Amino acid sequence: MVRLVNYTALIVVASSLAWLLAAVTLDPRANYAGRTPAPPVAVVDAALSEVNLNDHDPLLDRYLTWISGVARGDFGRTWDGLSVGADLADRAGVTLRLVTAGLAVGALLGLTVGTLAAVHHRRWFDRVSGAVVFLLLAVPAVVLANVLILGAIRFNDATGARFLMVSGEGAGGALDRLRHLVLPALTLALPLAAVFSRYQRNAMLDVLDADYVRTARAKGLPRRTVIVRHALRTALIPTTTYLTFTFGALLVGSTVTETVFGRPGLGQRLITAIQTSDVNTVAGITAVAAVALLLSAVAADVLQRVLNPGRAR
């Protein structure tokens, strides 16, 4: 219970800080500056006051308006009058699909590679996969995304079929969505797989040395059974916990991927919100990110207790 109160306080303070910071730094008035018949100051003031973005109103008043709105579940409006809550709810689905796909592929790949590397410890597979993982960890997301785009264009040219799409979300059926999902999901999945495989390899190496694994071998169980039934099951516990935690961090961590691939998700909105000085949207995304992060931290903790009751403290 104490922790729940503490987390709620963290979420409130984090989004308030983000709102205040954005309100002080960003300048929504700039959105009107470029118009050719320059709109009268009074009109701009009225329009900005309407959405609680007028920097001539006292900061405290604007903050109170915003926070009381949030308490009622209303995240305010963007500079051109749209509801932030509805916008973010739409985008959350797009981001959720991407993160789920990326995490699933990355986890599967990482766990497989990590387990095999541990089983073939210090043999060629371990060494090769170790080198590949090391290289992947050094490639920034922006470079990886662009390299995948270049590769996809070459691939499409070579095969003549335009299967892989490099931009947007896809409006058509499931196949169209899939075509747009492959590359951004890979951009998320490859670095994740690299991290997971390192975790899994270390966890497996620890377990393979354990006494109960040796006992299982000694009583005559085949090597494969011992590795899968005894070692892998135990080694999966810490990695699964870490995986759950990553899910929350990724919800906003996919900013780069979404922007490069032009997917209309939360991360991409973050960039455009800063560019158009949408104070309320910036604060809203911070709140979503904080909630996601803390929820997944709690989920990871619960999962760990369920999977490993002996260690519960």
Which residues of this chain interact with other proteins, rule CB under 8 A? 3, 6-7, 10-11, 13-14, 17-18, 21-22, 25-26, 134-135, 137-143, 146-147, 150, 153, 191, 195, 198-199, 201-203, 205-207, 234, 237-238, 241-242, 245, 252, 255-256, 259, 270-271, 274, 282, 285-286, 289-290, 293-294, 297, 300-301, 304, 307-308, 311
Nearer to other proteins by C-beta: 17 or 38?
17
CB of 264 to other proteins, least distance (A): 16
Residues 119, 22: Cα–Cα separation, whole Å: 51
110: how many CB neighbours lie within 10 A of its CB? 26
Nearest distance in Å: CB 103, other proteins: 14
Residues 41 and 21: their CA atoms lie apart, in Å, by: 25
Token pair recorded at residue 251: 């919800």
In the complex with other proteins, which residue's Cβ is closer, 96 or 178? 96
Closer to other proteins by CB, 54 or 197: give it: 197
Distances (CA, A) of 113 to 103, 226, 250, 267: 15, 18, 22, 29
- 141 with 149: CB under 8 angstroms? no
- CB of residue 72 vs other proteins: minimum separation in angstroms? 23
CB of residue 82 to other proteins, shortest distance in Å: 20
Q: Which residue has the tokens 């730094």?
A: 25
CB of 60 to other proteins, least distance (A): 20
* Nearest-angstrom CA–CA distance, 93 and 103: 15
Q: Return the closest-CA partner of residue 54 out of 27, 81, 17.
A: 27
Residue 178 or 276: the one with the smaller Cβ distance to other proteins is 276
Q: Closer CB to other proteins, residue 42 or residue 138?
A: 138
> 3-class DSSP state for residue 77?
strand
